[in-house]
Amino acid sequence: MKKACIFFLALLFILGIAALPSHAQKILKIGVLGPMTGPASLWGLAMHNCVEMWAEEVNAQGGLQVKTEKYKIETVTEDTKYDAARAVAGAEKLVNRDKVKFIIGTNGTHEALAVLPITTPAKVILCTFCFDRSAIGAQYPYSFRSIPTAYEFYTPMYKWLNQKYPDKKRLVLVVKNYAGGLVVRDQAKEATEKGGYKIVGVETYQPATTDFYPIMTKILAHKPEVMDFTAASGGDTGLLLKAAKQLGYKGITLQGTQGDPGTVISTAGKENAEGHYFMGGGSDEAVASQAMGAFIKEYTKRYGSWNEVASQDYYIPRLVGLAIQKAGTIDNTDAIAKVLEATEMKSPLVKGNPTVKFAGKNYYGRNSQVIMPLALVQVIQGQPKTVAVLEAKHLD
């Protein structure tokens, strides 16, 4: 009797899920897939919030104009918790239940590579944020990368650094032992040697490390002049800086990825963070336009606090919207993908309105890598200040 009850409950349950209503007309669904909770949520939430803000902007004008129709943008979000299995479940849901044709998301390489076998045969355009080279290659014709990787950033950065400090050549790479960390390490290796630096050590640390004295002691034994924290997270970077300075390091510190400068500075302490270089979004007054100020204000109002990552995530939903409009269709993703590769826009957020577009055919196989202005930021008197705006260059 009890078994029968359970059996019928199960039946109801399954049928219940299956019977969810389908969507109405004139709506354009955009999927968002990424870590919304958990330690990686810093990146997932920035991406989600940018898409949401764009959708609101567009809908406030009646919708996205494609040919003669206006489409209301509806975002559907799935939380991956930075886990590949959850990413797969989320992608399945977005592609097969919600029937989206565009997914902005996947932040980790493991997420992206797990999801691509689902999105590619379904011809769903995936705008990933992972750094893996193959994820946007010719074998995945519907996938694009929404942000520049360390690869795009390191070459101009090391060139600039070398010009400023020509006598400092000994470099140590500090690597966080996770997929994204290893990718950035490899990208850094390529760029540093080309930039004229000598790698005297590569030290790896475990993701759950809370105390960096031991590893910093080991790093300092190499007597470095430049310390590159590659893809270390904000909190880790802060602690690495603190350990370095407390153990007597007086050289240059930098990293080729974006993080949250607020976290870095507050965790390291103002004195310890002084002089640290990293990739920024260009949100300080030196390079930011008025529109950037307005964007920051709006973002802070809606979500409670500013997330520097958002200044880069700003562009991708807009680029996708432009491509849809230019292609004149909301579901012929073959056409849209082709158009997207050639789509570009002027950045309203940075002074001088530099161009944001897709490139990378020689290195990646397609023009699927977004190129945008990269701000080289340095901590000066406890504040992040843009010291240079670099052009993304490929090691073609």
Partner 1 sequence: MLSRIKIVVILLLLAFLLLLPLFERDPYILHVLIEIAMVSLPAMGLWLILLTGQLSFGQVAFVAIGAYTSCILVMQVGMNSWLALPLSGLMAGLCGVAVGYPALRIKGTYFAILTLSMGEAVSMILLNWTGLTGGADGIFRIPRPNDLTLGSWTLVHFTADKVAYYYYILALLIFCLLVMYRLYRSHVGSVLRAINQSDNLALSIGVNITRYKVFAFSIGCLFAGLAGAFYTHYFTMLHPDNFTLWDSIYYVVYIIVGGANYIFGPVLGVFLMLGTFEILRAVKKFQAVSYALILIVVILFLPGGLMNLRKILFPSRQPAKEGEGEDVGNSDDKRRDS
Partner 2 sequence: MEPVLFAQAVANSIMLGLIYTLIALGITLIFSIMKIVNFAHGQIYMLGAFAIFYFYAQWHINYIISLVLAAACIAVLGAALEYFLFRRLRGQELPCLLLSLGLALLLEGLALIIFGEKDMGVPPPFPGAVNVLGVHFGMDRLLIICLSLILLLALFIFIQKFKAGRAIRALAQDPEAATLQGVDINRMSWFGFSIGCMLAGLSGGLLVPVYWVSPFIGGPAVVKAFIVMVLGGLGSIPGTVLGGLILGSIESFGQQFLPGTWAMAIAYILVVLMILIRPRGLMGKE
- Residue 237 CB, nearest approach to partner 2 (Å): 10
- Residue 258 CB, nearest approach to partner 1 (Å): 20
- Residue 3 CB, nearest approach to partner 2 (Å): 26
Give the SS3 label for residue 373.
Answer: coil
How far is 147 from 3, CA to CA, in rounded Å?
52
Instruction: Convert residues 23-42 into a mask of x (bound to partner 1 by CB under 8 A) and - (unbound).
Output: -------------xx-----
- Residue 240 CB, nearest approach to partner 2 (Å): 12
- Residue 10 CB, nearest approach to partner 1 (Å): 7
88 forms part of the interface with partner 1 (CB under 8 A):
yes
208 forms part of the interface with partner 2 (CB under 8 A):
yes
266 forms part of the interface with partner 2 (CB under 8 A):
yes
Q: Residue 157: in which H helix or E strand, if any? A: helix 150-164
- Residue 316 CB, nearest approach to partner 2 (Å): 21
- Nearest residue (CB) to partner 1, 20 versus 60: 20
Beta-carbon contacts of 271 under 8 Å, excluding residues fewer than 6 positions away, are: 245
- Nearest residue (CB) to partner 1, 19 versus 24: 19
Stretch that binds partner 2, among 33-41, 104-112, 127-135, 141-149 (CB under 8 A): 33-41
Stretch that binds partner 1, among 75-83, 304-312, 326-334, 366-374 (CB under 8 A): 75-83
121 forms part of the interface with partner 1 (CB under 8 A):
yes
275 forms part of the interface with partner 2 (CB under 8 A):
no
Structure tokens at 82: 């930075």
Buried b (16+ CB within 10 A) or exposed e, 265-289: bebbeeebbbebbbbbbbbbeebbb
* Contact call for residues 279 and 153 (beta carbons, < 8 A): yes
How far is 107 from 60, CA to CA, in rounded Å?
29
Supply the DSSP symbol for 367.
Answer: S
Among 86, 28, 111, which residue's Cα sits nearest to residue 324?
28
* Contact call for residues 86 and 40 (beta carbons, < 8 A): no
Determine which residue in the list 27, 56, 62, 117 makes contact with partner 1, applying CB under 8 A.
117
Give the SS3 label for residue 353.
Answer: coil
215 forms part of the interface with partner 2 (CB under 8 A):
yes
Stretch that binds partner 2, among 125-133, 186-194, 245-253, 337-345 (CB under 8 A): 245-253
Determine which residue in the list 206, 300, 362, 383 makes contact with partner 2, applying CB under 8 A.
206
- Residue 231 CB, nearest approach to partner 2 (Å): 15
Residue 235 half-sphere exposure, CB side, CA atoms within 13 Å? 8
Residues β-bridged to residue 377: 278, 386
- Residues 132-151 touching partner 2, rule: CB under 8 A, are none
Beta-carbon contacts of 100 under 8 Å, excluding residues fewer than 6 positions away, are: 29, 30, 31, 76, 94, 124
- Nearest residue (CB) to partner 2, 162 versus 263: 263
38 forms part of the interface with partner 2 (CB under 8 A):
yes
185 forms part of the interface with partner 2 (CB under 8 A):
no
CA 32 to centroid of chain Cα atoms: 13
Structure tokens at 15: 């049928």
- Nearest residue (CB) to partner 1, 1 versus 60: 1
- Residue 38 CB, nearest approach to partner 2 (Å): 7
How far is 99 from 13, CA to CA, in rounded Å?
22
Q: How many CB atoms lie within 10 A of CB 183?
A: 20
For the chain, state the CA radius of gyration: 22
Instruction: Convert residues 304-333 into a mask of x (bound to partner 2 by CB under 8 A) and - (unbound).
Output: xx-x--------------------------
- Nearest residue (CB) to partner 1, 45 versus 323: 45
Q: How buried is residue 162: exposed, middle or buried, by Cβ count under 10 Å (0-12/13-18/19+)? A: middle
How far is 222 from 216, CA to CA, in rounded Å?
10
How far is 43 from 180, CA to CA, in rounded Å?
13
**Which residues form the interface with partner 1 (CB under 8 A)?**
1-4, 6-7, 10-11, 13-14, 17-18, 36-37, 77-79, 83-85, 88-89, 92-93, 95-97, 109-110, 113-114, 117-118, 121, 177-179, 181-182, 206
**Which residues form the interface with partner 2 (CB under 8 A)?**
37-39, 41-42, 45, 177, 204-206, 208, 210-211, 213-215, 217-218, 221, 233-235, 238-239, 242-243, 245-248, 260, 262-263, 265-271, 304-305, 307
